[in-house]
Amino acid sequence: MPVLPGAEPFVHDGSDDIGVLLCHGFTGTPQSMRDWGEHLAADGITVRCPRLPGHGTDWRDLNRTGWADWYAAVDRELAELSGRCRSVFAFGLSMGGTLTLRLAQNHPELSGIVLVNPSVTTLRRDAFLLPALSRVVPSIAGVAGDIAKPGAVEVGYDRTPLRAAASLQRLWRLVRGDLGRVRQPVLLMRSATDHVVEPVNSRIVLDGIRSGDVTEVVLRDSFHVATLDHDAPSVFAGSVEFVHRIHRERVEEPA
């Protein structure tokens, strides 16, 4: 199946000091993270942003995958970065934030994480029907493109594959149950207005993690896909400041 234009993985080999793994969201692609990756690369940081299995082709492909496939993809990239960089971070948008949290839970050696509108649950009243509904209904209307900035476009599916969504729901339960295992430094950025991920998601994360270094930033001028929205420059700059601070502290370098 051909890859959608713009959905290709992003790779940059920078210094061996700092490596960043970028994790895109459910039904999205690396396109939503590319500007962020390019900003990091311009700072000399080594970057990996894989295209998650089932994404960036046809929504039916996503229904043939599950959370274990998506997690395995980012876990492999993390291992590659860890083999070459002194400090390694994971950044995630939406479901990419879910995967980032799972990486932090399973890899205490991870230097830190950055979350943008992470998802760990939904308040939709019909969510309890998803496991059964996904067996008979292939998809519903998509959620891609929740952006306030005029002219900004997210490359993603216009349908939400329900079998894959049911798998994401199972991942949410695992991640919520293990939030106490997240002890790395955390920078969480959430949009004040988000039509995809409700505010309770960030509150659950912040209340559940056991990190001693936590920063929460509210993005006032962006919707869900903040990495393509008005606040993107602040997201990018804040993440660079975060990784450099943590790296200095880890290697005991003077500021």
Q: Give me the active site residues, please.
A: 94, 194, 224
CA distances, 208 to each of 47, 83, 215 (Å): 28, 30, 14
Do the beta carbons of residue 159 and residue 142 sit within 8 Å? yes
Say whether 48 sits in a helix, a strand or coil: strand
- The neighbour count for residue 124, using CB atoms within 10 Å, is 10
Look at strands 139-141 and 18-23 and give their pairing.
unpaired
Find all residues with CB under 8 Å of 222, minimum gap 6, and list them.
Answer: 147, 148, 149, 191, 193, 229, 230, 231, 232
Rounded-to-integer distance, Cα 251 and Cα 116, Å: 26
Look at strands 159-161 and 139-141 and give their pairing.
antiparallel
Rounded-to-integer distance, Cα 242 and Cα 82, Å: 18
